[in-house]
A and B are shown apart, each in its own frame.
Chain A
Amino acid sequence: MPVVGFTGVSKSYGEVRALADLSLELHPGETVALLGPNGAGKSTALDLLLGLKNADRGAVRVFGRTPEQAIAEGRVGAMLQSGGLMEEVTVRELVGLACDLHPRAYPVDQVLAAAGITDIGARMVDKLSGGQEQRVRFALATAGANDLIVLDEPTVGMDVSARQAFWATMRGQVEEGRTVLFATHYLEEADAIADRVLVLHQGRLIADGTAAEIKARAGARRITFDLEGTVDEAALRALPHVVGLEVTGPTVRIRSDDADATTYAVYGLGLYPRNLEVAGLGLEQAFLAITDAATAAGASAAGAADDEAGKR
């Protein structure tokens, strides 16, 4: 049974379509990153998954039940981006509340230690720094033996060392066999931590695979060189395995899914590339390449539809 199942899920806010016909499954033990530009529908997808919003169409299932049931059974822990905290109480009291409410709770001291907030247990919640607040939210999300942990941009507002410490804690959760789903803006996090990456764009799932697969799909490598004289763009674009071409002055940048073959073909054209560099594409560039392509495809589809309408 999948941990999470979305089947044909759509959600709109008035005219704005946040999710369009989204279908996906998460499996036990996976660490999944949810990527997408702002407004791609990440937060909406997580809200639906947690039962904080209802889908207009389609079904959302968590461990085969409704999100509300799964949460009531204590199988899901979640850390929200905008999750406010109860004020006028101490950190320890608040975490104690989360433990008390969890059907399969851990001892309070253990939860505080795991989140690295034992030393600020006596502090009032209203007096915490941004990073400390995030750790308290994390403690609330891990107060009991959840099978699924959902994190919405968990490391926003943390400095680099806090971020590393956070993911070290998170890896501990993964090693215990939990399924982790996190939305993030930091692509290096997705690259380093997730064993599966989902890319949302304008409410649609446009890529689903390992970070390596996503990079390969975007054109795995970038070839950069300078040419003398006029650059024949058409000829370069026609080279084998080229998936992207960019020319600025004498500098040519090619994205290729087989850099060896493309480079060989460049010489085959009789060109003499100078300052030749072949580099792997980061997930960040891959992500931009995929979303740009999706935007272009969406625009041309819309353009075609407009043409159709114009003819009638």
Chain B
Amino acid sequence: MNTLVRLEIVRTLRNRKFMFFSVLYPGMLFLLITAGTDKSKKLDGANLTYVAYYMVAMAALGAMTAVLMGNAERIAREREKGWVRQLRLTALPGRGYVTAKIASAATVSLPSIVIVLVLGAAVKGVRLDAWQWAAILLCTWAGSMVFAALGVAIGYVATADVARPISMLCYFAMAALGGLWAPFTAYPDWLQTLAGYTPGRAYAALGQAVEFGDAPHGKDVGVLVCYLALFAGTAAWLYRKDTRKA
């Protein structure tokens, strides 16, 4: 199983085009979205700049995009080519396949997050404590695995043609509800409550709690762990149950 994890990481690194766009996309998005924003402008009623808010939001959004889209589409294609059929004839358990796919996705998301944070500090003048940088990086990276697992599950229910639109749909819904596109504090109360139980919101809230100087909230971590178990479990089950002619 370790060989599979290693191979999945190696082949992701070898796919230069995929790596290039997935790694650079969040950084470019961050620069674009904060292009006209005053570096010192603060959020309403909070001691945090818009730029810092967007830095954390874009790091999360970018990591989510890379792992969700990347996994869903690549897996759907692998299924269509019959590789997954071949793999099912080995003693590999379902969790091994899902673990390997999450690991390879994490290889992509880590550098993409680092780039956004480096741009934030170097270009946009975001200033945070050392522990906050480290905690934001770690939370954003660890949290991205939830979406990698969702990507595996989508890759399993969808054909290669529809994997992208389906993951796009999930992605926009989760990003919007999570307040990754616009500051979450502007949302009405009922929507904030509802969104609190979606993976996108819990994910964004991890890094934001750190930004505001707190530890990540237990509830958000709990929500994410539940979604990870749900997505990864579904993905592993679908891997073993995939009885269609792939």
Residues in A lying within 8 Å of B, measured CB to CB: 50-54, 68, 71-74, 76-78, 80, 82-89, 93-94, 96-98, 100-103, 137, 140-141
Task: For chain B, residues 1 to 19, give those with C-beta under 8 angstroms from any C-beta of chain A.
Answer: 1-4, 7, 10-11, 14-15
Q: A74 contacts which chain B residues (CB < 8 A)?
A: 91
Q: Which of B15, B80, B93, B243 contacts A53 (CB 8 A)?
A: B243
Q: B15 contacts which chain A residues (CB < 8 A)?
A: 88
Question: Contacts A71-B89, A72-B91, A80-B89 given: A101-B243 contact, CB under 8 Å?
Answer: no
Smallest CB-CB A-B distances: 5 pairs: A84-B81, A84-B82, A88-B11, A84-B83, A100-B3
B150 to chain A, nearest CB (A): 22
Q: B2 contacts which chain A residues (CB < 8 A)?
A: 100
A76 to B86, CA, bound (A): 12
Task: A76-B89, A84-B78, A102-B91 given; name 5 further pairs at CB < 8 Å.
Answer: A52-B85, A52-B89, A80-B86, A83-B89, A88-B10
Q: Is the CB of B4 within 8 A of A101?
A: yes
Q: How many A-B residue pairs have CB under 8 A?
A: 78
Q: Which of B3, B88, B92 contacts A52 (CB 8 A)?
A: B88
B17 to chain A, nearest CB (A): 11
27 inter-chain pairs at a CB distance below 8 angstroms, sorted by A residue, are A50-B89, A52-B85, A52-B243, A68-B240, A73-B91, A76-B89, A78-B89, A80-B86, A80-B89, A83-B89, A84-B78, A84-B81, A84-B85, A85-B81, A85-B83, A87-B11, A88-B10, A88-B14, A89-B10, A93-B10, A97-B4, A97-B7, A100-B2, A101-B91, A101-B92, A102-B90, A102-B91
Count chain B CB atoms within 10 A of each CB in A73, A96, A98, A137 and give the residue with the most.
A98
The residue in chain A whose Cβ has the minimal distance to the Cβ of B11 is A88
Q: Is the CB of A86 within 8 A of B90?
A: no
Q: A100 contacts which chain B residues (CB < 8 A)?
A: 1-4
Q: Is the CB of B11 within 8 A of A83?
A: no
Q: A76 contacts which chain B residues (CB < 8 A)?
A: 89
A201 to B10, CA, bound (A): 46
B95 to chain A, nearest CB (A): 13
Count chain A CB atoms within 10 A of each CB in B3, B80, B82, B86 and give the residue with the most.
B86
Count of interface residues, chain B, beta-carbon cutoff 8 Å: 25
A6 to B241, CA, bound (A): 21
Task: For chain B, residues 89 to 144, give those with C-beta under 8 angstroms from any C-beta of chain A.
Answer: 89-93
A72 to B10, CA, bound (A): 26
Q: A72 contacts which chain B residues (CB < 8 A)?
A: 91, 93
The residue in chain B whose Cβ has the minimal distance to the Cβ of A82 is B82
Q: Is the CB of A96 within 8 A of B86?
A: no
B242 to chain A, nearest CB (A): 8
Q: Is the CB of B82 within 8 A of A83?
A: yes
Q: Is the CB of A83 within 8 A of B3?
A: no
Q: Is the CB of B3 within 8 A of A86?
A: no
A87 to B14, CA, bound (A): 10
Q: B92 contacts which chain A residues (CB < 8 A)?
A: 101
Q: Is the CB of A84 within 8 A of B86?
A: yes
Q: B86 contacts which chain A residues (CB < 8 A)?
A: 80, 83-85, 137, 140
A247 to chain B, nearest CB (A): 45
A94 to B11, CA, bound (A): 11
Q: A140 contacts which chain B residues (CB < 8 A)?
A: 86
Q: B78 contacts which chain A residues (CB < 8 A)?
A: 84, 86
A77 to B82, CA, bound (A): 16
Q: A53 contacts which chain B residues (CB < 8 A)?
A: 243
Question: Contacts A80-B82, A82-B82, A83-B82 given: A93-B89 contact, CB under 8 Å?
Answer: no
A39 to chain B, nearest CB (A): 14
Q: Is the CB of A83 within 8 A of B83?
A: yes
Q: Is the CB of A101 within 8 A of B82?
A: no
B9 to chain A, nearest CB (A): 11
Mark B211-226 against chain A: 1 for CB-CB distance below 8 A, else 0.
Answer: 0000000000000000
The residue in chain B whose Cβ has the minimal distance to the Cβ of A100 is B3
